[in-house]
Amino acid sequence: AQRVTQPEKLLSVFKGAPVELKCNYSYSGSPELFWYVQYSRQRLQLLLRHISRESIKGFTADLNKGETSFHLKKPFAQEEDSAMYYCALGEYGNKLVFGAGTILRVKS
């Protein structure tokens, strides 16, 4: 069965520290992976899509098929990065399977 695992419910870092939000998946085919972010009182927003290989707001994520991972990274955390982050696996026709989410808290 398709599954997305985000092992950390909460990740707390200091401003300027590196950030890595972990995401592991199980999928039998060629996955399409996404990171969505939800800032306080805002809707769920697309942050990254692995096929576009973009860097958004300083975040990057590399798909590692060998380790079935799609970890989200940023070299220097900013306070405005504090939010809920969801990793999602795209199946046929854009159906998304979400992880449980990780709260990122950036302390000043």
Partner 1 sequence: DAGVTQSPTHLIKTRGQQVTLRCSPKSGHDTVSWYQQALGQGPQFIFQYYEEEERQRGNFPDRFSGHQFPNYSSELNVNALLLGDSALYLCASSSFLQAARFGPGTRLTVT
Contacts with partner 1 by CB under 8 A: the residue count is 21
Residue 21 CB, nearest approach to partner 1 (Å): 13
Structure tokens at 41: 């009182």
What is the Cα Rg of the chain in Å?
A: 13
Cross-strand bridge partners of residue 4: 25
Sole window of 12-20, 37-45, 57-65, 70-78 interacting with partner 1 (rule: CB under 8 A): 37-45
Q: Which of residues 81-100 bind partner 1 (CB under 8 A)?
A: 86, 88, 90, 92-100
Q: Report the alpha-carbon distance of residue 88 to residue 24 in Å, rounded.
A: 10
The reply on whether position 29 binds partner 1 by CB under 8 A is: no
